[in-house]
Amino acid sequence: MRSGMRGRVKLRPVVVEDHATLAALRADVELQHLLLANPPPGGDYDVAAWIVRRQADGAIWAIADLADDACLGYVQIAAIHRRNRHAHFGIALAPGWRGLGVGEAATIALLSEARALGLFKLLLEARVDNHGAIALYEKLGFRRVGTLQHHYDDGGRRHDVLVMEREIPEEPAA
């Protein structure tokens, strides 16, 4: 595991070599529940089909290490509302890369991608018990909008979900 990754990552298109990492993220039941998702039924981890679905209403990028281009996770923009210029944001990191500044660097990079897509605002939902993620989002300028009570069912219990938003300022004038 590397330390001090902040600023040492980039976003790039997902390539076939990333599929094993992305399949492992999709197979991680605990992570999927933190992401307010559910693992695919029957262990169907068809990453190529999943990427196509992600791109149908948004965009997905691999988070890559600048040193060796290894896939560390992904970020996505989903449910783009073209007229109101907002979308939902999501991020997932492989276990060895959490807590090292990778998520922060990737989210900052994603804000530039969102701006390039003409978006005005990003929204996200996080389980209220996902304290580390919520702290990161607040550090990066997301604000709490409200709480959806008993909103996410992980198959064993229902969880409250925090809704957050962040406006994306126009590029500063040169």
Q: How far apart are CA 165 and CA 150, in angstroms?
A: 20
pLDDT of the chain, 174 residues: tens digit per residue: 344 555 589 999 999 999 999 998 988 888 888 898 877 666 667 888 888 888 888 899 999 999 999 999 999 999 999 899 999 999 999 998 988 999 999 999 999 999 999 999 999 999 999 999 999 999 999 999 999 999 999 988 999 999 999 999 876 544
Q: How far apart are CA 16 and CA 54, in angstroms?
A: 15
The DSSP symbol for 68 reads T
Phi, psi of 151 (to 5 degrees): -85, -35
By the 8 A CB rule, do 72 and 9 touch? yes
For the chain, the structural domain boundaries read 9-124
CATH number for the domain formed by residue range(s) 9-124: 3.40.630.30
In this prediction, residue 128 carries a pLDDT of 97
By the 8 A CB rule, do 31 and 92 touch? yes
In this prediction, residue 169 carries a pLDDT of 83
